[in-house]
Structure 1
Amino acid sequence: MILYDYILSPDAYKVRLMAALAGVKLNLRAVDVHPGREHESEPLRALNPAGSIPILLDGDLILTESAAMLVYLARLEAPTWLGDDNAANAARVQQWLAFSRRLTDHLGGARATEMLSEPGDLPALQRAGTLDLRELEAALTERRILGQTFLASDRPTVADIACFPYVALAPDGGVSLDPYPSIRLWTRAIRMLPGFIEMPGIHRLHELKPEPLSTETPETV
């Protein structure tokens, strides 16, 4: 199984992380995204006409959307990560997979604008990303009240992996996570999963910072 990869891509990192958690071995093919723009080259556009990374190849199967890759890896080796033991959990997973696209567009867009000088309206992206974080914080706070840690089930699912990278990297785009204790507890729980791997900018911060207090309340909208 081959993953066309870029080390600083949160979408590629999702796939590497899911593979590590599921015990799937990937053959990584590094792509020179910056400054080489190799992902826009003719050979890679033949695999993915959108000219984006990551790309996952497994035999004749070509996947170009990170959410589909997460589901594929989980279905192959770790089906409990799909959260489909009941209809409600399966629906929650699908809803959060869709929500993860908003995180990519807003928090990912702010990060690309701030760090990589990509074109974009940084204040607008930061405002939209903040609204996304407030929505996520409210949902995770509700889960905490029910005694649960993760987004869609009583255990981690592909929904958590889909949402995690762009949230954890929000400060790279100038959006602080300090006002969101439930999000910080959730990211800590993900970092503590057996098999968790890091990417540049996402470290084992739970070893360096005190745990958020459960009595903290989320920022009001």
Structure 2
Amino acid sequence: MAPPKLYTIKDSGNCYKPRLLAALLNIKLELVEVDYRNDQHHSPEFLAINPRGQIPALVDGDKVFTDSAAILVYLSGYQSDSNTIGALLPFWSNDVVEQAEIVDWVAFATGWIQSGIATARAIIRFRGVSATTQPLLDTATAKGEKSLEILQLRLRTNEWLAVGRPTIADIAVFCYVVLAPQGNISLDPYPAVKSWISRIRNLPGFFAIEGLDDPEYGKRA
């Protein structure tokens, strides 16, 4: 059976999320790199997969998922002969209360983290700081720092964001939080967040995307 096909961009935090979860669960993916800079995500071929023109997108047979959160949920329950690590590290739940707790943090990632840390990184890396972008960057930085304060409060007394074990909640939040220094947002004031990052990095199967440990990676001059 052909592996699920993930349309991705190598530097995208949202694309990193399903790639990281797949690695932790030992799920093989076929990666298709989308030429974002040349607008391939708005080509007729890609729009036939995702009419919104957004990346990532996952295609598995006749099933198509066009949002990183949905892809995380799908992969967390994916069954294959080789996902033995996944059997040891369940990243989802069959309990509706636990599901709600997990989704609460996934929503935090798509809301607070995306409009804060991810936006600050995108401005600095792809648009550059100018008179036009500075107000946007200031707003995103403030939102990012507030997000980290919320995470610090949670992680001071909890090893994981939801249900006492690693779940897709941690993956959804981690993949941009760890990249915060690329948006000039320091993690140093948040020791509990940094400890949580270390715990995720120590999970079996973890891999780092290019530039993960380099705050200057990809920044515009």
TM-score by length of 1: 0.84
Structure 1: how far apart are the matches of 2:144 and 2:107?
A: 15
Question: Counterpart of 1:28 in 2: which secondary structure?
Answer: strand
Residue pairs, 1:30-109, within 5 angstroms: 30-33=33-36, 35-77=37-79, 78=86, 80-84=90-94, 86-101=95-110, 102-109=112-119
Structure 1: how far apart are the matches of 2:58 and 2:108?
A: 22
Residue pairs, 1:104-123, within 5 angstroms: 104-117=114-127, 120=133, 121-123=136-138
How many angstroms does 1:50 deviate by? 1.4
Q: Which residue of structure 1 lines up, in the alignment, with residue 82 of structure 2?
A: none
**5+ residue gaps, structure 1:** 144-148, 205-221
Residue pairs, 1:61-210, within 5 angstroms: 61-77=63-79, 78=86, 80-84=90-94, 86-101=95-110, 102-117=112-127, 120=133, 121-143=136-158, 149-203=159-213
Structure 2: how far apart are the matches of 1:138 and 1:87?
A: 25
2:42 counterpart letter in structure 1? E
Cα RMSD after superposing both structures: 1.7
Structure 1: how far apart are the matches of 2:200 and 2:97?
A: 22
- Asked if the contact 1:12–1:54 (Cα under 8 Å) also holds between the matched residues in 2, the reply is yes
Q: Which residue of structure 1 lines up, in the alignment, with residue 21 of structure 2?
A: 18
Q: Does 1:8 align with 2:11?
A: yes
**5+ residue gaps, structure 2:** 80-85, 215-221
2:202 counterpart letter in structure 1? M
Which whole-Å deviations, capped at 9, do the CAs of 1:100-132 have from their partners, x for residues lacking one?
Answer: 112122111111100111785111110111111
- Asked if the contact 2:115–2:143 (Cα under 8 Å) also holds between the matched residues in 1, the reply is no
The list of structure 1 runs, each at least 4 consecutive aligned residues, that deviate by more than 4 angstroms after superposition, is none
1:32 counterpart letter in structure 2? D
Residues paired across the two proteins, number = 197
How many angstroms does 1:154 deviate by? 2.3
Structure 2: how far apart are the matches of 1:50 and 1:61?
A: 16
1:62 counterpart letter in structure 2? V
- Asked if the contact 1:137–1:180 (Cα under 8 Å) also holds between the matched residues in 2, the reply is yes
How many angstroms does 1:83 deviate by? 3.6
Structure 2: how far apart are the matches of 1:17 and 1:139?
A: 23
TM-score by length of 2: 0.84
